[in-house]
Chain A
Amino acid sequence: KAGVTQTPRYLIKTRGQQVTLSCSPISGHRSVSWYQQTPGQGLQFLFEYFSETQRNKGNFPGRFSGRQFSNSRSEMNVSTLELGDSALYLCASSGTVSTDTQYFGPGTRLTVL
């Protein structure tokens, strides 16, 4: 079974731009979660989608948004990029129950200049 895939793997943007990251979950998984990983803050939860609905949200500003499509693929969007948004953005997928194990993708490395 193929794992979680994320595209693109690397991205360089400038301040003020916006960016969209994509995540394809493991086949059959309906929940997708997003995390931001930085050396200073570690792994922080952004949001979780299940059946196209946001089920949970972390403490990030409204510039961070996401959505999920009917095929469970998810996108994350960051508008008006700031230098501090430079990070590894990880996507994880899990099954139908909220207690299911999350499986992580390789991440998208975003650099904001």
Chain B
Amino acid sequence: AQSVSQHNHHVILSEAASLELGCNYSYGGTVNLFWYVQYPGQHLQLLLKYFSGDPLVKGIKGFEAEFIKSKFSFNLRKPSVQWSDTAEYFCAVKGQGGKLIFGQGTELSVKP
């Protein structure tokens, strides 16, 4: 069965620090990969997605993610975080079955 693992449950950073959130998935076939963000009191929003092509994808608000097929990973990065990036981040994978499987989420707290 497909599964998604996010390594960090809670990350605390100071503003301007760099961010990397880990995401690994287990599925041997073709996958579509997503990062969603849930700001406090708001609904899930798409940050970025990978379907095919360049494994380095850029999303909104300066976020990017790199798909490394050999490592089954899709890590999220941002060079310099802001207080407004405080949110919960979810990695998700969709395989050929069509179900979107989410990781447990990583809560990011950015101190001003």
Tell me the A residues contacting B by CB distance below 8 Å. Answer: 33, 35, 42-45, 48, 55-56, 58, 90, 92, 98-99, 101-107
Contacts and interface: CB of A to CB of B under 8 A. Distances in A.
B29 to A, nearest CB: 12
Given A43-B105, A45-B101, 19 more contacts: A42-B102, A42-B103, A42-B104, A43-B90, A43-B92, A44-B102, A45-B99, A48-B98, A48-B99, A56-B98, A90-B43, A98-B94, A98-B98, A99-B32, A99-B51, A99-B94, A102-B100, A104-B44, A107-B43
Contacts of B46: 101, 103
Contacts of A58: 99
A104 B104 contact: no
Interface residues of B, number: 22
Nearest to A57: B99
A99 B34 CA distance: 11
The 3 closest A-B pairs by CB, nearest first: A43-B102, A104-B44, A98-B98
Interface centre among A35, A56, A102 (most CB of B within 10 A): A102
Interface string B32-45: 10101000001111
Contact of A33 (B49, B100, B103): B100
A8 B18 CA distance: 39
A44 B43 CA distance: 16
Interface string B60-89: 000000000000000000000000000000
